[in-house]
């Protein structure tokens, strides 16, 4: 084989590799390819409470905490779900979010999960005891994350009404060298449209607090795919009051009081006889 032919074959090989190479941006971007969205409830695991893992789209949305050098790009996405009044409250034990790595290889070493109350059509205040940062134990199937919470999150209904909550999930991963993680969009809207915020405004969207995600120009489909699993509780634990019990001293005092009362009744009867 002559040298010119070897050079030609090498050039074709390089061209083919370039044609199939992933284009990597020098900085974080808003949208990547969609994840698989596949989910199977683990046998013997928590029951599915809310399933929005359907009609998943072809794109994923950035939801990530970056390193200090890219802190202005740190952002997070969220979507809402409803706890029915008839259930009383939910104990959420696990969250599944379909996603994908892009603009780099991943995987994320840590994830953050938080549940928030509802404020109009956007996330409100954090639910007490339901913020989980820097979780290192989770299942990662090429970016689709099954996250078991270290302690259950209690989500009570308010009064006798169905109650809306929001869940936000984000990767905690350095852009260099990990790239980005994205949460897969959903083409159908349930409840309010999904939300997004970028406090440092690194992306220039102006959405530095919770805002409707599509209005911010982050993706085109209204919702995000996810599954919430756990236990239906019935009534919040703080509302279940323990039935008072009497100590030995208390029981003795009751006995003395009853005996004294019986004595006084008998004495009156004798006096009136």
Domain count, the chain: 1
pLDDT category at 94 given cuts 50, 70, 90 is very high
Q: Is residue 261 part of a domain?
A: no
Q: Is residue 16 part of a domain?
A: no
**Contact indicator for 114, 131 with CB cutoff of 8 Å:** yes
**pLDDT confidence of residue 170:** 98
Q: Is residue 51 part of a domain?
A: yes
**Contact indicator for 64, 173 with CB cutoff of 8 Å:** yes
pLDDT category at 43 given cuts 50, 70, 90 is confident
Domain that holds residue 213: 28-237
Calpha distance 22→28 (Å, rounded): 14
Look at residue 269 and give its three-state secondary structure: helix
Structure-model confidence comparison of residues 191 and 1, the more confident one: 191
Look at residue 69 and give its three-state secondary structure: helix
Q: Is residue 88 part of a domain?
A: yes
**pLDDT confidence of residue 21:** 35
Q: Is residue 96 part of a domain?
A: yes
Q: Is residue 197 part of a domain?
A: yes
Question: Is the pLDDT reported for residue 246 higher than 50?
Answer: no
Question: Is the pLDDT reported for residue 10 higher than 80?
Answer: no
Average pLDDT, the chain: 85
**pLDDT confidence of residue 270:** 59
Q: Is residue 7 part of a domain?
A: no
Question: Is the pLDDT reported for residue 160 higher than 80?
Answer: yes
Q: Is residue 253 part of a domain?
A: no
Per-residue pLDDT tens digits for 58-75: 999 999 999 999 999 999
């Amino acid at each position: 084989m002559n040298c010119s032919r070897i050079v030609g074959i090498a050039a074709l090989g390089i061209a083919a590799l370039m044609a199939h190479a992933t284009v990597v941006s020098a900085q974080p971007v808003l949208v990547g390819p969609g994840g698989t969205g596949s989910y199977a409830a683990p046998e013997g695991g928590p029951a599915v409470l809310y399933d929005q893992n359907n009609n998943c789209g072809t794109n994923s949305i950035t939801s990530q905490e970056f390193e200090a050098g890219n802190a202005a790009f740190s952002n997070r996405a969220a979507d809402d779900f409803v706890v029915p009044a008839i259930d009383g409250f939910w104990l959420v034990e696990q969250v599944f979010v379909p996603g994908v790595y892009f603009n780099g290889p991943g995987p994320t070493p840590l994830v953050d999960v938080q549940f928030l109350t509802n404020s109009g059509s956007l996330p409100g205040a954090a639910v007490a005891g339901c913020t989980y940062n820097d979780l290192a134990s989770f299942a990662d199937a090429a970016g689709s994350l099954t996250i078991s919470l270290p302690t259950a999150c209690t989500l009570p209904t308010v009064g006798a009404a169905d109650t809306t909550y929001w869940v936000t999930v984000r990767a905690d991963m350095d852009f260099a060298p990990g790239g980005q993680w994205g949460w897969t969009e959903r083409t159908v809207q349930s409840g309010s449209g999904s939300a997004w915020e970028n406090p440092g405004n690194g992306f220039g969207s102006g959405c530095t607090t919770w805002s409707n995600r599509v209005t911010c120009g982050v993706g085109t489909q209204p919702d995000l795919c996810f599954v919430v699993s756990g236990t239906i509780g019935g009534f919040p634990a703080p509302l279940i009051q323990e039935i008072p019990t009497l100590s030995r001293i208390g029981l003795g005092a009751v006995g003395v009081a009853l005996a004294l009362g019986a004595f006084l009744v008998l004495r009156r009867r004798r006096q009136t006889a």
